[in-house]
Amino acid sequence: MRIAGGFSLSREVEDILIADAALTIGFALVLSGGVFGVSSFGFILMLPIALVAVSLSFVLHELMHKFVAQRFGAMAAFRKSDYGIIITLITSVFGFLIGLPGATVIYAPHFTRKEEGYVSLAGPLTNFAVFAVFFVIGSVAFSGFSQNFLGSLQTTSLTAGTYLRAVVGFTVFISIYLAFFNMLPIMPLDGSKVLKWSKPVYFTMMATIFVLLFMITGLALIPNLVFILIIALVLSMVYRSIIF
């Protein structure tokens, strides 16, 4: 099945699987301390956790962009970015993540600013849904979950229960982190399009994201988020000129 511009459905599936794998490896590296602090066991431990969290948070995010675009009569397809994958993996080596492995490309001859805003908003809202579902699961299944989302993965006391708690906790964290990153007001991220469409919607979304991030990490993550914003701004100057 061909969907647009010589781009096939099988190629789309291949692209999103490659992007998902790259982002999974990137998050596993970051969550295990970056390449300079990671142990092989720590990376292996984090890899399945990152795979679950990224697949739910990233793949569903991109698919929702596609489905909403199609509802507006557009054609849409996910396309990986080789340059973006390189950026994703290189930054993760240094213990932080600029996740740009690809994006859903919209094919529409006439697409209003409002329609573009709705399509862009669909991805971060999907991350909110993943956050909510796994927050409820964690709160019901694990005592003290709301006070310590990420739990502990000490290898000396690792059990199936603590590992499953980590899967749930990191899914909560990664879902809202990806919402934050994608809502940054820079091209080619969702936030730039939402901001162009509606400032009240944009600032409501960002306020909600910061409240949820504060619930998980308190103020500890704020310096990292500011650092990521600065790096993302610099990279976007280059990235916006790259054709997927």
Task: Compute the distance between CA of residue 20 and CA of residue 66 in angstroms, rounded to an integer.
Answer: 16
180 residue type, one letter: F
Q: Which of 12, 62, 115, 116 is catalytic?
A: 62
Tokens 């399009």 map to which residue?
Answer: 193
Active site residue 115: no
**Paired strand residues for 103:** 79
Amino acid at 171: T
Q: CA-CA distances (angstroms) from residue 114 to 1, 130, 173, 237?
A: 29, 25, 29, 25
Nearest to 54 by CA among 9, 32, 22, 82: 22
Q: Residue 96 phi/psi, 5° resolution?
A: -140, 170
DSSP secondary structure letters along 90-157:
HHHHTT-----SEEEEEE-SS--HHHHHHHHHHHHHHHHHHHHHHHHHHHHHSTTTTT-SS----GGG
Query: CA-to-CA distance for 204 and 60, rounded, in angstroms?
Result: 22
Question: Which residues are marked as active site?
Answer: 62
